[in-house]
Amino acid sequence: MTGRRRYQGLAARFFFAQLLVVGASVLAAVVVASLAGPPLFHEHLEQAGAGHDAAQMLHVEQAYRDANLITLAVALPTALISALLASLWLSRRLRTPLQDLTRAATSLTAGNSRIRVPAGKAGPEVTTLAHAFNTMADRLEHTEQVRRQMLSDLAHEMGTPLSVLTVYLDGLQDGVVDWNNATHTIMADQLTRLTRLMEDIDDVSRAQEHRIDLDLAEEGLGDLLHTAAAAAGEAYADKGVDLQVETITDTARVLVDRQRFGQVMSNLLSNALRHTPAGGQVRISVHRQGASTALIHVADDGEGIPPDQLGHIFERFYRGDAARSRDDGGAGIGLTISKALIEAHGGTLTATSPGPGRGAVFALHLPLSPSDSEEVAR
């Protein structure tokens, strides 16, 4: 009932607005017909030679006034009826899309992010409004899906270490588990896993929301890559995977937070090692791309990435192989953090793969430092 009254009020406002226009037009017509018309008409009669007979002049002028009155008497109701019909037509044309928009907004407020508004045929302005609403609803639906998925995955990620800690604490309390080095190690590992999970979630949230503080400094790219390779060297040697760094032939420099960039390279190298079997190889290479960009490749010849998973690997908690990845102690968030951190540096991080069993390549684009770009330009 409220909506019907609202749109009846809309029609009334349209009619009132047009009534004002009609009224102003009629008033102007009356003023012209009564004040300006008769003198002009009289003057033209005299110029035409019909002004010598007073009775004839009076009769002609009276006919002129009667014609004006009849014209106004016909025109005014016609204009009012036309204004009313136009108001009703326009209000009904707008009523349906506005009702749809009102219902959709109410539904969206109630939590239904799947609601959409049809474009309709009420004009480009209403179509633009409907498109803007649907775009907003799409984004809210995506945000809600990400939130639900994140909460579900977070509960799962926290569930395992919390379950282990609960079992061991109950065992210690009941006396069925002894407090020894093995028990201490297991419980400490689970606490470390929970702590790292919280830190990772905080890192990726801050980076994606542009709230992360970067301690930027000009660094030699070759030194950064060799340092990252050296830090990962022991883990690679233990698994029997060959790690190669392409010889840096120039002195490319980038403006980065050294610690955060090291975190990105550590995540990429750990990911490559995790998915490369013993005897495989991981290669780090760097190239200049134009005068202002450095291109870094981290390529492996390991398991590869299926095409249906390639578009999801940077999503929070995404795991292409849950059975495999649950054993490595990670939270499925390292690549998400890496992408967010590189974007915070003004760069991009992408991944390609020919397919399963054919390896993968992670491409990292970083802007060169201003001084380095100027030297190349010269």
pLDDT at 135: 85
Query: Mind listing the pLDDT tens digit of every residue in the chain (378 residues)?
Result: 444 555 455 556 666 776 777 777 767 776 766 666 666 666 666 666 655 566 666 766 677 677 777 777 777 777 777 777 776 777 676 777 777 777 888 887 777 877 877 776 666 767 787 888 888 888 888 777 767 766 776 777 778 788 888 998 999 888 888 888 888 888 888 888 888 778 777 777 776 666 778 889 999 998 999 999 999 999 999 999 999 998 655 678 899 999 999 989 999 999 999 999 999 999 999 988 888 899 999 999 999 988 888 888 887 766 555 333 433 444 467 888 889 889 989 999 999 999 888 999 999 999 998 876 655 555
pLDDT at 367: 93
pLDDT at 203: 75
SS3 readout for the chain: CHHHHHHHHHHHHHHHHHHHHHHHHHHHHHHHHHHHHHHHHHHHHHHCCCCCCHHHHHHHHHHHHHHHHHHHHHHHHHHHHHHHHHHHHHHHHHHHHHHHHHHHHHHHHCCCCCCCCCCCCCCHHHHHHHHHHHHHHHHHHHHHHHHHHHHHHHHHHHHHHHHHHHHHHHHHHHCCCCCCHHHHHHHHHHHHHHHHHHHHHHHHHHHHCCCCCCCEEEEEHHHHHHHHHHHHHHHHHHHCCEEEECCCCCCCEEEEEHHHHHHHHHHHHHHHHHCCCCCCEEEEEEEEECCCEEEEEEEECCCCCCHHHHCCCCCCCCCCCHHHHCCCCCCCCHHHHHHHHHHHCCCEEEEECCCCCCCEEEEEEEEECHHHHHHHHC
pLDDT at 116: 79
- Architecture field, domain 216-377: 2-Layer Sandwich (3.30)
pLDDT at 297: 95
Residue spans per domain, the chain: 2-112, 149-208, 216-377
pLDDT at 11: 59
> What residues contact 226, with CB distance under 8 A and at least 6 apart?
245, 248
